[in-house]
A and B are shown apart, each in its own frame.
Chain A
């Protein structure tokens, strides 16, 4: 059903045009004898065709068309202007001013029907294209979302592959990733960045894939040489993930390389200091250490939450970025909720 807006200050013309519009079929006429009121209606409603008389007291047809076209989303709706036969100059002005076509008085039914139908066909075409564009956009969104979900799943599984060779659990990945998100939120980095770090943080230890078992799984303390090899996991992870077209993998590469850097420059592999360390690395450092301390391992008991918090506090400005520690502690309620949600004994959901 097409909505046809008719504006004419003459009642007889309104009635005639309404009758002709109804004869077109599939049309619902909306009548106004006052162009200002019609314009008001157009702010809330979207007609499929506008038929407007030129000569009206409150506002002539040219001014109406100009005001109508200025409304948001009304620049393509077809407009037919009605003029007298002798108003050639007005017709030119109307066409230049945004009218699509015109009708001359006295109105001829055949001419009216053909012109109105043409305009309505134009409108149908416009709507079809708009719907199609919207449909395609939705389809692309769905497909992109599918790809992103698969990308997330692959990243998670890849991170798990590294963790399976380690005493740490899948739940550790989930917790430290969520802690990282809590810190990002505390730093007001915005929802997009929060989501990005949530997705990238799990890859922090992916480089452990390249560390030999006799070192990675060694129950006792590592020798200096062994520790040097172990430290290599940061660079290995970076090499594995760098130069990707994926924003998540690029962020993962950054996290892998920088999550063992320390704020005072005593970390590895580059010995970066303060803001030289990428922000994601500084965030993940807090999240990863806190979870490692508060988790039970075959070789150690879990620290109490108070002790772990004290460790973070004491590490401000030395091991950790003070702002990241502050953001983590400020989100304490959320931290507890994450601990509750991802327990070690539960099989993490993929």
Chain B
């Protein structure tokens, strides 16, 4: 279980070359898409299609990593790996955790 998300604005901005404009754009896009991404992840798991879940977990991993959420990205990577191996059993909790993590990051970004 990942620890609570702490928004490290400085490290994210550093990766974006200090560009506030790009940072704001990324935050807006994340917030716009967070619900859809969370639902897509849940639907992929519910469908039982390993490849679909692998891809959605990969997307979530990228999104979380973009905002320097290393713990969240590591959890997404675990789901991605297991989906790739076709091991969908007992992933309910992990998928649920990821959905919650997405919203946790969204809340932190909104609070800014």
List A residues at the B interface (Cβ < 8 Å). Answer: 10-13, 15-16, 19-20, 23, 55, 57, 84-86, 105-110, 113
List B residues 13-28 near A (Cβ within 8 Å).
15-17, 19, 21-22, 25-26
CB < 8 Å: which of A19, A20, A106, A109 contacts B62?
Answer: A106
- Of B53-61, B90-98, B99-107, the one with at least 4 CB within 8 A of chain A: B53-61
Do B17 and A110 touch across chains, with their CB atoms under 8 A apart? yes
Contacting residues of chain B (62-77) with chain A, CB-CB under 8 angstroms: 62-63, 65-66, 68, 77
Partner of A109, one of B15, B25, B33, B77: B15
New A-B pairs, 7, CB < 8 Å, besides A12-B63, A84-B58:
A16-B26, A19-B19, A20-B22, A23-B19, A23-B22, A105-B65, A109-B15
**B68 CB to nearest A CB, Å:** 7
- What does the 1/0 interface line of B21-49 toward A look like (CB < 8 Å)? 11001100110010000000000000000
For A108, the chain B residues whose CB sits under 8 A away are 15
> Chain A residues near B63 (CB, 8 Å)?
10, 12
5 sampled A-B residue pairs with Cβ under 8 A = A15-B29, A16-B26, A19-B25, A55-B58, A84-B58
| Residues of chain A within 8 A of B15, CB atoms compared | 106-109
* Closest B residue to A85 using CB positions: B65
B74 nearest CB neighbor, chain A only: A86
Select one of A10, A11, A86 contacting B77, CB under 8 A.
A86
Give the number of residue pairs across the A-B interface with Cβ within 8 Å. 55
In the complex, what distance in Å separates the CA atom of A206 from the CA atom of B62? 83
Contact B55 A55 (CB under 8 A): yes
Instruction: Select from chain B the residue with minimum beta-carbon distance to A105.
Output: B62
**B59 and A106 contact, CB distance less than 8 A:** no
Q: Is the CB of B26 within 8 A of A12?
A: yes
- Of all A-B residue pairs in the complex, the 6 with the closest CB atoms, nearest first, are A109-B17, A106-B65, A12-B29, A106-B66, A108-B15, A19-B22
Which of chain A's residues have a CB closer than 8 A to the CB of B33?
11-12
Nearest chain A residue, comparing its CB with the CB of B65: A106
Contact indicator A109/B61 (Cβ below 8 Å): no
Chain B residues, Cβ within 8 Å of A20: 22
Contact A15 B25 (CB under 8 A): yes
Which chain B residues lie closer than 8 Å to A113 at the CB level?
17
A294 vs B32: C-alpha distance when bound (angstroms): 92
A16 to B77, CA, bound (A): 22
Q: How far is the CA of A11 from the CA of B77 in the complex (A)?
A: 20
